[in-house]
Amino acid sequence: MARKKILISRDSTQVVEITAEDEAVWAAQKALRDAAEPARIAEEIQMNRRSAYQEEADTLFFEEQAGEVASGTWAAKRIEIKKRFPK
């Protein structure tokens, strides 16, 4: 028995039948999205870390090498960034 679904848009409202095939396609698409989610999250974390390293930590490395800031400042900043964007 096919289920019915109501589709609402700005222009109209329609009642359509959802076949078993439709549900199978939607389930397969959802499974693909769900499977890709961990990789997407990991990529987003990596991008956030990379940006934070460039904006906050890279200059500290050179300042530490030049003796302008205390030793360990750069490493502490990297640890802070990793905690802010955990894997």
What is the pLDDT confidence band of residue 3, given thresholds at 50, 70 and 90? confident
Quick check: 86 pLDDT over 90? yes
Taking the C-alpha atoms of 67, 69, 75 and 77 in order, what is their torsion angle to the nearest 10 degrees? -150
Q: What pLDDT does residue 15 have?
A: 75
Strand-pair partners of 17: 4
pLDDT digits (tens, 9 = 90+) for 20-50: 888 888 889 999 989 989 999 999 999 999 9
CA 64 → CA 5, 44, 55, 61, distances in Å? 63, 29, 16, 5
pTM (2 d.p.): 0.63
